[in-house]
Amino acid sequence: MTKIFETPLYPYVKSPDQTAKTPVRHRVVVIGAGPVGLAAAIDLAQSGVEVLVLDDNTKVSFGSRAICFSKRTLEISDRLGIGPALVEKGVQWNLGKVFFKDRKVYDFNLLAENGHRNPAFINLQQYHFEHELVKRVRSLEADGAPIEIRGGNRVSAVSDAGSHVAITIQTEDGPYDLTADWLIACDGAGSPTRSMLGLDFVGRVFEDNFLIADVVMDADFPTERWFWFDPPFNRDQSALLHKQPDGVWRIDLQLGWNIDKDAEKQPERVIPRLKAMLGDEVNFELEWVSIYTFQCRRMEKFRHGRVLFAGDSAHQVSPFGARGANSGLQDTDNLVWKLKLVIDGLAPDSLLDSYDLERIYGAEENILNSTRSTDFITPKSDQSRIFRDAVLDLSEHHAFARPLVNSGRLSRPCVYYGSSLNSADALDGPAQSQPGAPCPDVQLGDGFLLDQFRGGFVILAINADAPDELTDSGVTARTIRLRTKDDPTGALAARYLGKTPAAVYLIRPDQHVAMRRDGYDEGLFRAALRRATAKD
Amino acid sequence: MPLNTAPNLTNADDAYAALLAAHEGLTKAESDALNARLILLMMNHIGDMEVLEQALKLASDPAA
């Protein structure tokens, strides 16, 4: 059977643009049909913005790569129309075990909050995620949405001409030129767009290598995240075992710095390593093997005029914590509604600068967390190894040491504390729904709260009155009224009211809170809506 | 809460002797590991980040 990552899903097809007399102008061009680029394109097309995706390849990614998708990513995916398919296909897990040397030191439970549509995490090969996105693009196309993917289209030149972006593309039929109002570069860690524009990329390169293997096996390991520090089968290094769909297991083995990468990738080197880990009696087959060297770094700015960088092209983190693809999805979630308002002339261009500020803040948080995980997993000095081992020894017997064990701090959505789009917090409410935070989900009867926050700004009035909608300078927020007496679970009150009897929230199109107070006031909500669209 | 740098041990000589006794007969590596565990246990007992920061500062530079 041909696997999905071996099938050309968007083969090269000659476009009329290639024989046009003058370069054809597109509204938005996205470079890169990975998870971030496709999510951006779907989000734009769903809002009616014309978008063209260019990719030098024709297939989804080979190998599992980003395997761990967070609740926030699934919530964003719900809005993009693919969330339920991802959850159905993915492997859900809540338990993790930590091993040190030859013994288990403790286990943990993610203890996800109840009443959310989506689980805390699912494991899913990146190619399945991309495949669902491609299927969604195809169904949008069939419905007449303004979206197109061109495979076999390699961008070889990009320049910002001020009024537009000029793009040169190489194909098997030769080169052609396009122009675009806006360009979103989602072309990955090695971003050619970044190089073509001569932009910086500074940060820390870690002197380490990881062998990443997708192994197909019938084994009765439980659906848990197993992490080893200094195991007998990989002395002085670490290892990770995690289950994926289709009987595929993901194994990450730390190799250290001075290694021969090509030699380490050969089956005759890989198989004995895996046998040492899994035991001689386990039969397995290698689906994909890669050697990974990671970096923690970011671009100084994610916005360069009409060119916007999102995902790995803008920032990279170590793999511990699942903060790569998950943060990339948060990038596009943050960017697309802003770009739509700017394109429609309903917000000033400066709204896009808030993309830069908010997502740089997010990237810094991810870099900090993943750098700390890396420093724990790979101690950089004798002293740091002594403390690391002391933490692990203590963690076996004493609960206090367990929060110090850092095998990756798993991705949580970013709270945009202090963003210029927030209005001051005017409610003595729960911290989890303060201005800047992503709205927590709540089960409401057969449905979920977040399902109601789609397609623009929302005024959420809980035990309070508010008009059906509020429009300021062409931007409309529609009102959703809820009563806590209709929610027997009590989660709505716990997550949005705390000890206060009523609240009214202004919620951004990306489901982050812009403002909240104890009641509706037209002047104050109008001001908050203007502030959230960079007008004041 | 400020770091207490005034004498606080009920019996300083006993406490010091207990510290040395814990290291008696250990190799350098074993002693390093013991010290690390001891620091982590005491750090958690203190809990207060402000006190820890003052202690780290004074440990780095006793004259600070």
Task: Express each pLDDT in A453-499 by its tens digit.
Answer: 998 999 999 999 999 999 999 999 999 999 999 999 999 999 999 99
Per-residue pLDDT, A146: 97
Give per-residue pLDDT as tens, A224-261: 999 999 999 999 999 999 999 999 999 999 998 889 99
Residues in chain A: 536
Q: Which chain A residue has its CA at the smallest distance from B42's CA? A: A400
Contacts of B37 in chain A (CB under 8 A): 390, 393-394
pLDDT in tens, A264-287: 999 999 999 999 999 888 899 999
Nearest to A88 by CA among A102, A98, A99, A78: A78
Structure ipTM: 0.97
Residue B34: what pLDDT?
98
Q: Any CB–CB contact under 8 A between B56 and chain A?
A: no
Q: How far is CA A291 from the centre of its chain?
A: 22
Domain boundaries, chain A: 4-8+24-204+296-366, 207-293, 431-532
Nearest CB to B33 within list A390, A401, A404: A390
User: A384 touching B, CB under 8 A?
Assistant: no
**What does the pLDDT read at residue A207?**
74
Q: Which residue of B has its CA nearest to A386?
A: B33
A420 burial via Cβ count (<10 Å: 0-12, 13-18, 19+)? middle
What CATH fold (topology level) applies to the domain A4-8+24-204+296-366? FAD/NAD(P)-binding domain (3.50.50)
The predicted structure's pLDDT at residue A2 = 67
Contact A63, A211 (CB under 8 A): no
Helix (H, G, I), strand (E, B) or coil at A410: coil
Measured between CB atoms, which of B32, B41, B44 is closest to A386? B32
Taking CA–CA distances from B34, the nearest residue in chain A reads A390
Q: What would be the CATH architecture of the domain defined by A207-293?
A: 2-Layer Sandwich (3.30)
Answer whether A386 sits within 8 Å of B36, measured CB to CB: yes
CA atoms within 13 A on the CB side of A262: 0
Q: Which residue has the higher pLDDT, A267 or A137?
A: A137
Determine the residue of chain A that is closest to B39 in CA distance: A387
Percent of chain B whose predicted confidence (pLDDT) is above 70: 100
Q: List, for residues A203-221, the tens digit of each pLDDT value.
A: 777 778 899 999 999 877 8
Tell me, yes or no, if B37 comes closer than 8 A to chain A by beta carbon: yes
Query: What is the distance in angstroms between the Cα of B37 and the nearest Cα belonging to chain A?
Result: 5
How does residue A411 score in pLDDT terms, banded at 50, 70 and 90?
A: confident
Q: Which pLDDT value is given to residue A141?
A: 97
Chain B hits for A387, CB-CB cut-off 8 Å, are 36, 39-40
Q: Which fold has domain A431-532?
A: Glutaredoxin (3.40.30)
How does DSSP classify residue A424? P
Strands A95-100 and A447-448: unpaired
Q: What residue in B sits closest to A394 (Cα-Cα)?
A: B37
Burial of A279 from C-beta contacts in 10 A (0-12 / 13-18 / 19+): exposed
Note whether A217 contacts B: Cβ–Cβ < 8 A.
no
Which long-range contacts does A510-513 make (Cβ < 8 Å, 24+ apart)? A510/A333, A510/A334, A510/A337, A510/A438, A511/A75, A511/A438, A511/A439, A511/A450, A511/A453, A512/A416, A512/A436, A512/A437, A512/A438, A512/A439, A513/A422, A513/A433, A513/A434, A513/A435, A513/A436, A513/A437, A513/A438, A513/A439
Sign of the CA dihedral running A319, A321, A322, A327 = negative
Identify which of A453, A455, A463 has the alpha carbon closest to the alpha carbon of residue A429: A463
Cα gap A489→B54, rounded to integer Å: 45
Tens digits of per-residue pLDDT, A371-382? 899 899 989 899
Quote the mean pLDDT of chain A.
94
Alpha-carbon distance A387 to nearest alpha carbon in chain B (angstroms): 5
Listed by start position, the domains of chain B span 28-64
Amino acid at B20: L
